[in-house]
Amino acid sequence: MRIRPAIRAGILLAVIVVAVVAAQGAQAQTPAAACGACHAQEYDGWAASAHAHAAESRAFQSLAGAASAVAGWGSDGCYRCHAPLAQGGAGAAAGVSCEACHLMERVGGAGNGDFSLATDGVLRSAKAGRAPHPTSASPLFGDALFCAACHEQYHPVSGVALQSTYTEWVNSAGSHGGKTCQTCHMAEASGGHAFGPSVADDAAKGEALARAITLEVRWPDSAQAGRALIVDVRLENTGAAHALPTGKPEGYEMWLEMAATVGGQTVFTESLPYGVVFADDEGNYDPRVTSSDAASLLRDHRLFPGRAVVERFAFVVPADVRGQVDVEVRLMYRRTPSWLSERLGLPSVPAMLVRRASAAVPVVEPPPRPTYVAPTPTATLAPTPTPVLEGSGTVEEEGWLGSFLLVAGLVLVSVAAWALKARAV
């Protein structure tokens, strides 16, 4: 028997009412599908979002298990934010469900899941309205601080910032211009609950990043075989009010790569990563250190709002190359880092193209090398030795005779001077 849509909606509404009544005395979790009976557009957006799938990946579950063993994370560990209504991991499949946000009554400013959910069964939102369940308008839903509860994370022992998305927004021009997290991530076009590209739509994710990042390349006019070919690439985050990428380093991998080919054969390739690298309490950073073991920040090389980054690639064109060198620059992104997939024994996640630029650089003939000709030797005259007179020598060599002659000379000079003076008188 086929149930009419109106009857099906009525049944779902009844489920909502029963769940809300039950929530008066306990933290019951209403299935998100029940909310979709009346909020179909919002539900569809949420169902494809990262919030809906926040706790179901094998990568997350492995990392959450490791973090739970670290003192200071608490019994909820990562589930505090990835599945707020889950109790001891039960019900975690719901992820960040509808009620996980719409029961929010307080958010602290310290991150690390510093929030509290109401137990009165009243669903909060930006505005109240007529509904088969209690509603209440809360200004918190228009405040970026709402998101800081989970999108600002610090290591409970070392204090290292593991995720600083909220702080990045605070320091951006967007925050001073009146933009909040909700301005961009709760656009009405998706019912306001997609929070970004679908978790399964890599193409959409790549397009979103491409809208936020500009890429400019300064190509050389030509190259010479045997000489260096230099390419400068300028990247700038012009569309996001936080760093790109943002979040914990286990949740992304972004890099800039350049490849040069001649006749289809690769003659050069290099990649430059963007992201955060931690060190453990012994200073080790390779192999990569996960957030749960982070004791210090080793490097933070990302695209921050409004700051341009210029990268330089250089390589020597092989001496036998003629014609042209085909050069391609690509900005790439992957949702799960390859190093994490390899460590956990998971299938590698495909990389997505964000930006691309290419050029065919002509290779000019190298200038001829000058031929060195040795000069013809010419005859030269030997230097004439200085004659040495016999009997010549220093005063010391002549002994008393030299001293006598010196004194006699002085006496004669004195007598001559006296005689000239007497004549003048």
pTM score, two decimals?
A: 0.78
Report whether pLDDT(108) > 60: yes
Instruction: Please give the mean pLDDT across all residues of the chain.
Output: 84
CATH number for region 202-364: 2.60.40.10
Q: Are 219 and 359 in contact (CB under 8 A)?
A: yes
Of all residues in the chain, what percent carry a pLDDT higher than 90? 59
> Domain extents for the chain?
5-190, 202-364
Give just the sign of the alpha carbon dihedral 203, 209, 210, 211: positive
DSSP string, 150-196: HHEEE-TTT--EEEEHHHHHHTSHHHHTT--HHHHHT-GGGTT---S
**Secondary structure of 238-265 as H, E, C letters:** CCCCCCECCCCHHHCEEEEEEEEEECCE
Q: What is the pLDDT of residues 232-262, one digit of tens each?
A: 999 999 999 999 999 999 999 999 999 999 9
Q: What is the pLDDT of residues 53-93, one digit of tens each?
A: 999 888 998 998 888 887 677 667 788 899 998 865 556 67
> If we measure between CA atoms, which residue out of 237, 259, 240, 247 comes closest to residue 359?
259
Q: What is the pLDDT of residues 153-180, one digit of tens each?
A: 999 999 999 999 999 999 999 888 888 9
